[in-house]
Amino acid sequence: MKIALINENSQAAKNEMICDNLKKVVEPMGHTVYNYGMYTAEDETQLTYVMNGLLAAILLNSKAADYVVTGCGTGEGAMLACNVFPGVLCGHIVDSEDAYMFAQINDGNAIALPFAKGFGWGAELRLQYIFEKLFGCESGGGYPKERVVPEQRNKKILDGVKEITHKDIMTILKTIDQDFLKTAISGEKFQEYFFPNCQVPEIAEYLKSVLA
């Protein structure tokens, strides 16, 4: 699995610590982490949590990433921004129980973490426990087990509703404020990570034209 990490500007100083703990847990499982930044609070490209929602949608809809880990001070804004977009099902995750049940019940493809609220002693341990429960087993298995069938049915219904209620990603990319879009994809390593992994040529070509 290709896992993308995205930090917004208010919590950018914690990027290295978050990335290190994510890699520590998921790389032995065979997953690959792509750190899209921000890397420091002083990065030239300043990403807001709304931009991170757009960036998450680009990565997931293009299949450049299979899963997105993001967040903000409380995790709430990042979760809301991600769920605005098509092809993104983002959960607000505070602890390992949240992680396990979101994976098993909701079978999403993105999480938003609180990187300020409650982020004190033991924060790195909490991250590790969350990542272990999130990525350590196949998702969508249901919880509790006797609820598997209705939960899987509801997930399919939710996916279908999102297809109806959301515009497609290309329409969004072409109609959203282009300066906003350009900033969201102007991170230091975006082009290095995104274009080799993107599996939707139409998205890649359009973003190249925006960056040109």
- Angle among Cα 45, 208, 203 to the nearest 5 degrees reads 105
Which pLDDT does position 56 carry in this prediction?
98
Q: What is the pLDDT of residues 11-44, one digit of tens each?
A: 999 999 999 999 999 999 999 999 999 999 999 9
Grade residue 3 by pLDDT with cuts at 50, 70 and 90.
Answer: very high
Q: Strand 110-114 to strand 90-92: parallel, antiparallel, or no bridges (unpaired)?
A: parallel
pLDDT tens by residue, 158-193:
999 999 999 999 999 999 999 999 999 999 999 999
pLDDT value, residue 188: 95
Gap between the Cα atoms of 132 and 105, Å rounded: 16
Q: What is the value of pTM for the model shown?
A: 0.95
d(CA 41, CA 44): 9
Quick one: pLDDT at residue 82?
Answer: 98
Structural domain range at position 29: 2-211
- The pLDDT score that the predictor gives to residue 153 is 95
pLDDT (0 to 100) of residue 99: 98
From residue 46, give the alpha-carbon distance in Å to each of 13, 30, 37, 68, 70.
12, 31, 10, 19, 15
Calpha distance 169→67 (Å, rounded): 17
Helices 123-135 and 15-26: angle between axes, nearest 10 degrees: 40
Give the per-residue pLDDT at 126. Answer: 97
Residue 119 tokens, joined: 């982020």
In whole angstroms, give the CA distance from residue 160 to residue 146: 24
Mean pLDDT of 60-69: 98
Work out the mean pLDDT of the chain and round it to a whole number: 97
Query: Taking Cα atoms as reference points, which of 29, 184, 18, 9 lies closest to residue 93?
Result: 18
Q: What is the CA radius of gyration of the chain?
A: 16
What is the number of domains present in the chain? 1
Write the CATH number for 142: 3.40.1400.10
Q: What is the pLDDT of residue 211?
A: 97
Cβ within 8 Å of residue 141, ≥6 positions away: 104, 148
**113 to 69, 96, 156, 212: CA distances (angstroms):** 8, 11, 25, 33
Bond preceding residue 144 cis, omega within 30 of 0: yes
* Residue 72 DSSP SS3: strand
pLDDT at position 107, please? 96
Answer yes or no: are the C-beta atoms of 114 and 75 closer than 8 Å.
Answer: yes
